[in-house]
Structure 1
Amino acid sequence: MPRNRPTRFAARSALVALVLAVATACGDAGGLQGAGPTETAVSPDKLWPELTPASRPAYEIGEVNREVVKGVTVPGNDILDVDPVAVVRKEIAQSPGDYDGDNGTYKQTGRLMAECGKGAGRGRCPVLQPYYRDLTGDGHPEMTVGFRLMPGRTTAVRVYTVEKRRLVQVMGWDDAVSGVELAGRSVIIRSPSEVAGYEYRLQWTWDADQKAMLLTHDEMLRTGPHTKTTKTPHPSPSGRSPSPSPSSSVSPSRSASSPSAASTP
């Protein structure tokens, strides 16, 4: 059956447009262009091959931070039932000289623990609101706790998991903190640098063999315009002081007044 006139006219117009487009493309000087010669790949130069490779680290910084929290049990194996304030009190009890009296390094933290009656993250309590996320991949959440070490500006960051109804600390670090993030199976801590326009970024990732979170990344990143500085560079990561103690969504703490309900930060 022959097509009607409007259909033939439309087909003829489309054919003319196609021919013009091809002709225009043939006269176009565009397309792929060379970016110039490729730089020759250079392999790294190995320095001082005569040196005997080291077999042990120069500094012991507690790379595997794993410790059972004594005196805290988890009867139902549910870490959401663990009181983060009680956990911090247990840590403080291990080093009372750092928190008690007028000469304690963190004497203000020790005094303000009395303000934690309403729970973590409330009022003047130095224990920050805990967050819950599966960091080990076993389908159960871990608890990330932070508490301020005062009168200074240092923050203690801890991660806890549950094993056979026991609470186990699997990561700990004290530092001046710019921010803390949970990403995948990792905890990321950002800290200020003495070099203007830069910050430190440290990342701990769960290691199934060590059953702890290991420091897998330690880098210095630019955060602003470059500015010269005459300050002494920050010591290397190995010289930093480690902590004093040996589902993909982030869940904040549950309200202290209602242990079964999740609160919003």
Structure 2
Amino acid sequence: MSARTARTALTAAAVALLSVTAAGCGDRGGLQGAGATPTAVSPARLWPDLRPASSPAYPYDVATRAIVKGVTVPGDDIRKVDPVDVVEAEIEAHPDDYGSKGAYHATAERMKECRPGGDEARCPLLKAYHRDLTGDGRADLTLGFRLYPTNQTAVRVYTVEKHKLVQVLADNDAIIGVELAGRALIERSPADISGYEYRTTWVWDPEQRAMAFSRDEYLHTGDGRHGKKPSPSASAGPSASTP
């Protein structure tokens, strides 16, 4: 049962209970029925003779895990790590993406503005956040930066293991918002129909030692009725990972 279905069922049950309680609290009369109850229908299994697939389903995305080279973690305290150093380390490690012919070549140039004395308005790096997402009781690092000239957003999560900085999430997409809920990271992306959006949830997977894709939702968020063309900044697929 999805979260939305569960909320709907609980709301309906609460309304029914309130109706019965209110009827029983009067000075006259007894309990009153809330109406006819729909007959329960079990799930219908389609194509019971369907042969098993010969290969696994195409994965939405794969978990990312990589040691960040060239960045130290003083005292194993991730709060002391400079986010600018972290992004620059990624740029150096992926010349095909950030080089002069790479899809995000302008990001490398703009990162120079993130240093003291630079033009802060041109710096692509967003505010960094620290929260325990891995469940080890220590803060992890969540950061984002704009990808130019595509106008996508890169979302990254890092943790510390054995005195090393480790990247445990790398996702690039057309993003309109990011939320941290407990130990989950939720990305909100625009849909191709107005009034709707995609929400992708990533959670810590102790077996892969990385943030793994958990849920993808297509939700109604407004009163839009007319379709619109996808933003030119949208990626070719539902998401794309850099590493």
Contact 2:196–2:220 (CA<8 Å) still a contact in 1?
A: yes
Q: Distance in 1 between matches of 2:36 and 2:105?
A: 64
Contact 1:120–1:128 (CA<8 Å) still a contact in 2?
A: no
Which stretch of structure 1 is more off in the superposition, 198-207 or 64-73?
64-73
The 1:117/1:66 distance shift into structure 2, 3 A limit, reads same
Contact 2:153–2:172 (CA<8 Å) still a contact in 1?
A: yes
Q: Do structure 1's residue 186 and structure 2's residue 212 form an aligned pair? A: no
Q: Distance in 2 between matches of 1:123 and 1:239?
A: 30
Q: Deviations over 1:15-58 (max 9, x none)?
A: xxxxxxxxx954x35x6421222111111112222223336434
Query: Amino acid of the residue matched to residue 74 of structure 1?
Result: V
Residue aligned with 1:157, SS = strand
Q: Do structure 1's residue 170 and structure 2's residue 172 form an aligned pair? A: no
| Aligned residues between the structures | 215
Which stretch of structure 1 is more off in the superposition, 183-192 or 58-67?
58-67
In structure 2, the partner of 1:243 is 241
Query: Amino acid of the residue matched to residue 112 of structure 1?
Result: R
In structure 2, the partner of 1:86 is 85
In structure 1, the partner of 2:42 is 43
**How far has the Cα of 1:133 moved from its partner?**
0.4
Q: Distance in 2 between matches of 1:204 and 1:154?
A: 18
Residue aligned with 1:177, SS = coil
Q: Deviations over 1:136-184 (max 9, x none)?
A: 1211000001010012220000000000101111111111111111110
Q: Distance in 1 between matches of 2:118 and 2:218?
A: 32
The 1:60/1:71 distance shift into structure 2, 3 A limit, reads farther
In structure 1, runs of 5+ residues without a counterpart are 1-23, 246-265
Q: Distance in 1 between matches of 2:228 and 2:149?
A: 27
The 1:206/1:121 distance shift into structure 2, 3 A limit, reads farther
TM-score, normalised with respect to structure 1: 0.73
**How far has the Cα of 1:230 moved from its partner?**
7.1
Q: Distance in 2 between matches of 1:114 and 1:239?
A: 30
Contact 2:74–2:81 (CA<8 Å) still a contact in 1?
A: no
Query: Amino acid of the residue matched to residue 89 of structure 1?
Result: E
**How far has the Cα of 1:122 moved from its partner?**
4.1
The 1:51/1:239 distance shift into structure 2, 3 A limit, reads farther
In structure 2, runs of 5+ residues without a counterpart are 1-24
Q: Distance in 2 between matches of 1:116 and 1:206?
A: 30
**How far has the Cα of 1:82 moved from its partner?**
1.2
The 1:211/1:56 distance shift into structure 2, 3 A limit, reads farther
The 1:193/1:54 distance shift into structure 2, 3 A limit, reads same
In structure 2, the partner of 1:202 is 200
Contact 1:120–1:130 (CA<8 Å) still a contact in 2?
A: no
In structure 2, the partner of 1:222 is 220
Identity %: 54
The 1:165/1:34 distance shift into structure 2, 3 A limit, reads same
Q: Distance in 2 between matches of 1:140 and 1:207?
A: 16
Q: Distance in 2 between matches of 1:32 and 1:230?
A: 52
Contact 1:193–1:200 (CA<8 Å) still a contact in 2?
A: yes
What are the equivalent positions in structure 2 for 1:8-157 lying under 5 Å apart?
25-26=26-27, 28-29=28-29, 32-54=31-53, 56-101=55-100, 103-118=101-116, 122-157=120-155
Bigger Cα Rg: 1
**How far has the Cα of 1:100 moved from its partner?**
3.1
Residue aligned with 2:207, SS = coil
Q: Distance in 1 between matches of 2:118 and 2:67?
A: 21
The 1:239/1:79 distance shift into structure 2, 3 A limit, reads same
